[in-house]
Structure 1
Amino acid sequence: MGSSLHTKKESYISTWKAVSLLLLLTLFALLPRILPPTSFTTTDEAAHWTERTANFLTALREGDLVATRQTYHPGVTTMWLAATGQVVGEAIHGAWDRVPFSVSRAFMRMPSGIVAALAVIAGYFMLRRLVSEQVACLGALLWATEPFLVAHARVMQTDSLLTSFMMMTLLTALLAFRIDEGPAGRDLPPRWGMLLGSGIMTGLATLTKSPALALLPIVGIIAFMSGRNATQFVRSVPIAPLLLWSLMIIFTWLIFYPAIWIEPLATIHLFSIGAASGTLDHEIGNFFLGQTVGDPGPLFYPVAIALRLTPWSMLGLGLLLIALVRGGISQAQRGVLLYLGLYLSFFMLAMTLGSKKLDRYVLPIFPVLAILSAFGLLWGAKAVSRWLSGYSKMIVLGVIAILSIFNLFYYHPYHLAYYNPLLGGGVVAARTILVGWGEGLDQAGAYIRAQPDGCDRPITMPIATFLLEPFVCSDVILDTSTHSQQAGYAVFYINQLQRDIGRQEYNRLVAQGLPKHTIHLYGIDYVYIFTLSSNNE
């Protein structure tokens, strides 16, 4: 009897711990991504996704299926989710054109944030099967709280969704081909449910953005390696599983992309244009190492990634390298690390070969970096466990959780303004890579509105006036020169000046000594506002 009661007590404790851990992870993953809403609007939201979503939803309602093809990205998942948010908002608030801008934007953003949070939670459960419970827990915690991942999950665009779907593809593929079972798994059939899920996730990833095509060779390699047999290699090639996986991709496209039902060839051709667009320079230029450039070159992504990572993630990656050199990682875990490294390396290579480069384009590798960092941090904790009475791993989890909470709270709502403090933070970032995606312009608008004539006189801006328009009560004029306009204020944004857009006019106003107000966030001067004379002399 006593033994039975003891067993039941242990079972209850184990269940309570599992439920508590899941609840905490859910809070870490969900709350930073949806509450409270981000105050500013990003370039892509204002210039593209708000209008595309409206057109997409109108096309669905009117049965004009070809019109659901809005862009080459193709951004289908982004539009489906944002449209879902709009429909929910309409059900709650009524006519959409009467809903305040901040409220409508929050409704359209929230579904993507929820998907990103669900990916973290699902990723945790899959990682538990692939690696140890502790690595899965810490890896999911880092995945949930990396500021760069949180920042992009809070806005309406493609990169966060691409990241979630690509990671789900990778993890389900590893489980489908029994990588978790090591050599013993080669003699067993795939896990068909996981294989179906991997195909669906690949379909959703490619429906989001063309860089997801990198998944095709990655999953192919996983499948071939899992079926490797030294004496019968050809016979062990998993043709049937890969065929089923491919069919699920096609099925997902047919379900979620109405335009392909009517004009399949034209729709696929447009997608191919998007895949090729990465080989071209940005139309308005880029910025790297203090210079306005077209293609920043192969050093761009290593530098940008280092600037975007948290110090504890960088520490974990460094410790992992030491652990690998010193043989501190088990053979079973090395197998999983091999495939994570394959995904990271292949995607980085694909992105580096293209001329069009931005830090957010490599967002899909950040969950992998979080998992790799977890390996290193836990190995380091084990190495010092004799000084910490065996509680080192719990201490690591607790410390990182506290640091992550503080970090996210400190940068809210401008998580995009986070840059690694170990490398100089925002001050160094502004001199090194392109900075600013709209953050700070909400504060610029508030400053202008608060002025006595803030609603009376036009405002000039050299590019992307739509970023400022929602936050001011007067006209915003697209103009790089203030000579010919009866403007009250001239606004210059950091990434415009980094690209030398409006730089000459900015220098002229500085030389005139006109009053200037600066929006300064976390070491970065994001916005410069000049108060112009009444006759613009």
Structure 2
Amino acid sequence: MKAKASPLLLAIFIISLILRTLAITASLNTDEGLWIYRGSQFVKRLFEGDFTHTILKHHPGVPNMWLTGSSMLLNCWLHKLFPGFLGVDLPSDIGACLNLEEFPINLYIIPRIVQAVVTSACMVYVYVLTKRLLGQAVALCTISLLLLEPFFVAYQRFITTDALQADFAILAVLLFLLYLRKDGKRKFLFASGIFLGLSTAAKITALFLLPAIALLIVLIELGFWRSSFPQRGWKQQFRGYALWGTTILVVFVLIFPAMWVSPGYVLDRIHQGVLQESDRGFLFFLGQLTHSPGILFYPLVLAYRLSPVLQAGLLATSAILFIPKLRRQQEKMPEIAAVALITLWVLLILSASDNKIDRYINLCLPMLAILAAVGWLEIIAGITQRKNILPSSLAGRGYIVLFLLQLVFLLPYHPYYLAYYNPLLGGGRVAQNIFMIGQGEGLEKAAQWLNLLPNVKKTKVASWYSRYFSSYFHGQILPIDKRVPSGIQPWTQANRVVFYKNQLQRQLPEPKMLNYFAMQQPLYTVRLHDIDYVWVYPGPLPLPEDLKRIQFPLSLSFKEQVRLLGYDLNKTKVSANEDLLITFYWEFLAPLPRDISVKIGLRDRFIHNSSVPNDNFTNLANAPLVDGYVFPEQITTGTVVRDIHKLKIPPSTSPQHYQLEVGWFSPSKGEVLGKPAVIGELEVVK
């Protein structure tokens, strides 16, 4: 038996490892850069003896920081011993290397490999424990479903807290159920406490399992499920639970240096962080912004994030749980009911919170896979009875069928598994109107496209998730969502601006700024599985190659303070009541008043008598530079600014040719740069 098991365990490990490391530099999660930074700081502070400040997040992500910090230390050592080996330029001093704030993509490879080894080993142990608890058939089907479940695989690849929390938690649950069984031994209790201590140290919400297990013990002592879980007496059960809780706490303290010296400070940080996160707001659900998505959120997450294969198994298991005849046919019904109870409890706790994010269901996914495996075995049993197939023939190959079915849904999304939404429910096309979309996937494609620009190292790009973007982009990165003390927003100094899907869904940083870019055509769009994830727009500061492509080049000076280098039109023929988009390229030769704005109008080209006031002049716009985001008095001499204006052609405008006029106007000083100048013609058509 052991000889047969070893190749299977090795196969589970290898398949898991491949799925976690294939295309290892693709699609970082937006939180991964933060955990690389926290891990580096964690190790650095350990070396410095600053144990108190080894808490860097309330989650608190301790196992992640041990793994990522050690991996970054290895990166630094490798660079010091073999300069150029990693293909990045790092400080030779280890302390300085660990103090980086931005991390090129090559520095993620070792941390991701290290985590992949740990989580792949966990998958092997999940199979071993499931087999011991529920039998080999359930274990084989479980691992076939779990290894290839798209949403689960997506987060297993990321060096965030979700992977380690979920993997350690399922091991803790399986071990505790083995302890509660007739053949339970205290070693299972200690092992369960160790893994739940690790899971809690990864993400504090693993503690949701404690009341679920307590409820399970109460039901056992009330006489439920005696065939598998014997009554041991309240006193003995309490002792076991207390010992389990103590083990969890000891592990939490042992691996967390901050707890060695400042436990009160750590617990306060965790408490305050959880409160702050639960009140974060700015969530998108069912097409609108909301503070709390409500009770429908997680049912819809399960509908769209789980594969149809997993869902079919869960439906079958639901039938088993509710139909007495099917329940009686299950040899391991108490164990199945216990797993279902724990899963339901966690989902209810998650649903009770205002702060709802789809990735939180990772804590439940391994348990859902176990339940789905039970359901699939019932489906297979039903097929064998109806088709007169030998039960052992089909059941023995059932896990292979499930594996292949899961591959059908997984492979089209490689390596963007997080872009998966149930195709039977409309996939991403429908999901983008329901959920907040995107955790970084697709941003690297925009960065790679921008890396093709000439002189890219001097190119400034403002991006949402700028830390993530900097891992791929070779030029200079500016944040979108911050202001400098002068009030200038950094994106106004950018040559290109990159927007992301969930940013637009949440209207961040503000609707006015987003509307300014929304009226323009993006230069590049990243589309993944029916969803546009990323848009690249030209920024307020044009590149030299942009100036070479001006549609209508000019050299028109306004009192030697501003020179118009030319303009672009989105159309040269426009109908009345339509919008015209005009892009100016201004070169600033001297500072201008703060309240100055650009005045644009149309004038009948056949009537031009300056002695007649407003002779057939239509004022189309009088708007500040770059919609008021660029302050004229702060512009450096010689700077060229790309300035967009949307003009609404009045419905009463007669169809004919008009002269297009532009000038500069200040409410306090009037037309301070001389009279408006005619810069071209525009035809209004019917």
Judge same fold: TM > 0.5, yes or no.
yes
The structure 2 residue matched to 1:37, chosen from 18, 21, 24, is 24
The structure 2 residue matched to 1:290, chosen from 287, 296, 300, is 287
Cα deviations by residue, 1:466-508 (Å, 9 ceiling, x for unpaired): 2222222332333479998353222110010010115443433
Matched, 1:202 2:196: yes
- 1:24-63 matches, cutoff 5 A: 24-46=11-33, 48-63=34-49
With normalisation by structure 2, the TM-score equals 0.70
> What is the identity, as a one-letter code, of the residue corresponding to 2:36?
T
Q: In 2, distance between residues paired with 1:240 and 1:153?
A: 35
> What is the identity, as a one-letter code, of the residue corresponding to 1:151?
A
What is the CA distance between 1:436 and its match in structure 2?
Answer: 0.6
Q: In 2, distance between residues paired with 1:506 and 1:471?
A: 24
Query: Which one has a larger percent helix, Structure 1 or Structure 2?
Result: 1
What is the CA distance between 1:63 and its match in structure 2?
Answer: 1.9
Secondary structure, in 3 states, of the residue corresponding to 2:533? strand
Secondary structure, in 3 states, of the residue corresponding to 1:527? strand
What is the CA distance between 1:226 and its match in structure 2?
Answer: 4.1
Aligned residue number for residue 489 of structure 1: 496
Matched, 1:371 2:357: no
Cα deviations by residue, 1:335-385 (Å, 9 ceiling, x for unpaired): 112211121111112111211111001211111111111111111111111
Q: In 2, distance between residues paired with 1:234 and 1:143?
A: 36
> What is the identity, as a one-letter code, of the residue corresponding to 1:438?
G
Going from structure 1 to structure 2, the CA distance change for 1:376 and 1:294 (only over 3 Å counts) comes to same
Cα deviations by residue, 1:440-471 (Å, 9 ceiling, x for unpaired): 1110011112134644432233x432222222
Matched, 1:243 2:242: yes
Conservation of the 8 A alpha-carbon contact between 1:200 and 1:248? yes
Q: In 2, distance between residues paired with 1:15 and 1:129?
A: 14
What is the CA distance between 1:518 and its match in structure 2?
Answer: 0.8
Q: In 2, distance between residues paired with 1:511 and 1:87?
A: 47
What is the CA distance between 1:253 and its match in structure 2?
Answer: 2.1
Aligned residue number for residue 119 of structure 1: 122
The structure 2 residue matched to 1:528, chosen from 502, 520, 535, is 535
Secondary structure, in 3 states, of the residue corresponding to 2:247? helix
Aligned residue number for residue 164 of structure 1: 167
With normalisation by structure 1, the TM-score equals 0.88
Q: In 2, distance between residues paired with 1:353 and 1:515?
A: 40
Deviates more, 1:403-412 or 1:332-341: 403-412
> What is the identity, as a one-letter code, of the residue corresponding to 2:185?
R
What is the CA distance between 1:174 and its match in structure 2?
Answer: 0.2
The structure 2 residue matched to 1:409, chosen from 411, 415, 435, is 411
Q: In 2, distance between residues paired with 1:61 and 1:256?
A: 15
What is the CA distance between 1:331 and its match in structure 2?
Answer: 4.9
Secondary structure, in 3 states, of the residue corresponding to 1:485? helix
Aligned residue number for residue 110 of structure 1: 113
> What is the identity, as a one-letter code, of the residue corresponding to 2:19?
P
Secondary structure, in 3 states, of the residue corresponding to 1:437? coil
What is the CA distance between 1:313 and its match in structure 2?
Answer: 0.7
Secondary structure, in 3 states, of the residue corresponding to 2:298? helix
Aligned residue number for residue 518 of structure 1: 525
What is the CA distance between 1:206 and its match in structure 2?
Answer: 1.5
What is the CA distance between 1:403 and its match in structure 2?
Answer: 3.2
Aligned residue number for residue 323 of structure 1: 320
Cα deviations by residue, 1:252-292 (Å, 9 ceiling, x for unpaired): 1232011111112222222233444453233xx11111112
Q: In 1, distance between residues paired with 2:118 and 2:268?
A: 28
Q: In 2, distance between residues paired with 1:140 and 1:400?
A: 10
Cα deviations by residue, 1:25-81 (Å, 9 ceiling, x for unpaired): 2223222113341423322122x2122111101011122211212221111111011
What is the CA distance between 1:238 and its match in structure 2?
Answer: 1.4
Matched, 1:64 2:170: no
Q: In 2, distance between residues paired with 1:500 and 1:453?
A: 32
Conservation of the 8 A alpha-carbon contact between 2:524 and 2:535? yes
Going from structure 1 to structure 2, the CA distance change for 1:228 and 1:479 (only over 3 Å counts) comes to closer
Conservation of the 8 A alpha-carbon contact between 1:308 and 1:418? yes
Secondary structure, in 3 states, of the residue corresponding to 1:491? strand
Secondary structure, in 3 states, of the residue corresponding to 1:536? strand
Q: In 2, distance between residues paired with 1:379 and 1:465?
A: 49
Conservation of the 8 A alpha-carbon contact between 1:319 and 1:377? yes
Q: In 2, distance between residues paired with 1:484 and 1:30?
A: 40
What is the CA distance between 1:325 and its match in structure 2?
Answer: 4.1
Aligned residue number for residue 634 of structure 2: none
Secondary structure, in 3 states, of the residue corresponding to 1:259? helix
Conservation of the 8 A alpha-carbon contact between 2:38 and 2:69? no
Matched, 1:216 2:210: yes
Q: In 2, distance between residues paired with 1:439 and 1:339?
A: 37
What is the CA distance between 1:91 and its match in structure 2?
Answer: 4.4
Secondary structure, in 3 states, of the residue corresponding to 1:471? coil
Matched, 1:73 2:41: no
Aligned residue number for residue 182 of structure 1: none
Conservation of the 8 A alpha-carbon contact between 1:280 and 1:354? no
> What is the identity, as a one-letter code, of the residue corresponding to 2:157?
R
- Equivalenced residue count is 510
Conservation of the 8 A alpha-carbon contact between 1:174 and 1:222? no
Q: In 1, distance between residues paired with 2:277 and 2:471?
A: 30
Going from structure 1 to structure 2, the CA distance change for 1:268 and 1:482 (only over 3 Å counts) comes to closer
Going from structure 1 to structure 2, the CA distance change for 1:131 and 1:384 (only over 3 Å counts) comes to same
Cα deviations by residue, 1:138-182 (Å, 9 ceiling, x for unpaired): 01221121111111111111111111111111111000111xxxx
What is the CA distance between 1:528 and its match in structure 2?
Answer: 0.8
Aligned residue number for residue 7 of structure 1: none
Conservation of the 8 A alpha-carbon contact between 1:490 and 1:531? yes
Aligned residue number for residue 477 of structure 1: 478
What is the CA distance between 1:205 and its match in structure 2?
Answer: 1.5
> What is the identity, as a one-letter code, of the residue corresponding to 1:507?
N
Matched, 1:19 2:6: yes
Conservation of the 8 A alpha-carbon contact between 1:310 and 1:420? yes
Aligned residue number for residue 269 of structure 1: 268
Going from structure 1 to structure 2, the CA distance change for 1:263 and 1:401 (only over 3 Å counts) comes to same
> What is the identity, as a one-letter code, of the residue corresponding to 2:50?
D
Structure 1 unpaired stretches of 5+: 1-13, 179-184
Q: In 2, distance between residues paired with 1:257 and 1:456?
A: 42
Going from structure 1 to structure 2, the CA distance change for 1:135 and 1:471 (only over 3 Å counts) comes to same
Secondary structure, in 3 states, of the residue corresponding to 2:45? helix
Secondary structure, in 3 states, of the residue corresponding to 1:530? strand
Going from structure 1 to structure 2, the CA distance change for 1:498 and 1:235 (only over 3 Å counts) comes to closer
Going from structure 1 to structure 2, the CA distance change for 1:234 and 1:241 (only over 3 Å counts) comes to closer
The structure 2 residue matched to 1:505, chosen from 507, 513, 524, is 513
Going from structure 1 to structure 2, the CA distance change for 1:248 and 1:271 (only over 3 Å counts) comes to same
Q: In 1, distance between residues paired with 2:73 and 2:466?
A: 28
What is the CA distance between 1:399 and its match in structure 2?
Answer: 2.4
Conservation of the 8 A alpha-carbon contact between 1:211 and 1:275? no
* RMSD across aligned positions (CA): 2.6
Conservation of the 8 A alpha-carbon contact between 1:177 and 1:226? no
Going from structure 1 to structure 2, the CA distance change for 1:175 and 1:420 (only over 3 Å counts) comes to same
Going from structure 1 to structure 2, the CA distance change for 1:263 and 1:236 (only over 3 Å counts) comes to closer
Matched, 1:356 2:364: no
Aligned residue number for residue 453 of structure 2: 451
Q: In 2, distance between residues paired with 1:350 and 1:456?
A: 50
Q: Percent identity?
A: 30
Going from structure 1 to structure 2, the CA distance change for 1:486 and 1:73 (only over 3 Å counts) comes to closer
Deviates more, 1:85-94 or 1:130-139: 85-94
Conservation of the 8 A alpha-carbon contact between 2:479 and 2:491? no
Conservation of the 8 A alpha-carbon contact between 1:483 and 1:536? no
Q: In 2, distance between residues paired with 1:264 and 1:389?
A: 61
> What is the identity, as a one-letter code, of the residue corresponding to 2:196?
T
Q: In 2, distance between residues paired with 1:488 and 1:527?
A: 17
Aligned residue number for residue 8 of structure 1: none
What is the CA distance between 1:227 and its match in structure 2?
Answer: 4.6
Going from structure 1 to structure 2, the CA distance change for 1:408 and 1:98 (only over 3 Å counts) comes to farther
Secondary structure, in 3 states, of the residue corresponding to 1:238? helix
Secondary structure, in 3 states, of the residue corresponding to 1:389? coil
Secondary structure, in 3 states, of the residue corresponding to 1:347? helix
Deviates more, 1:331-340 or 1:488-497: 331-340
What is the CA distance between 1:294 and its match in structure 2?
Answer: 1.4
> What is the identity, as a one-letter code, of the residue corresponding to 1:165?
F
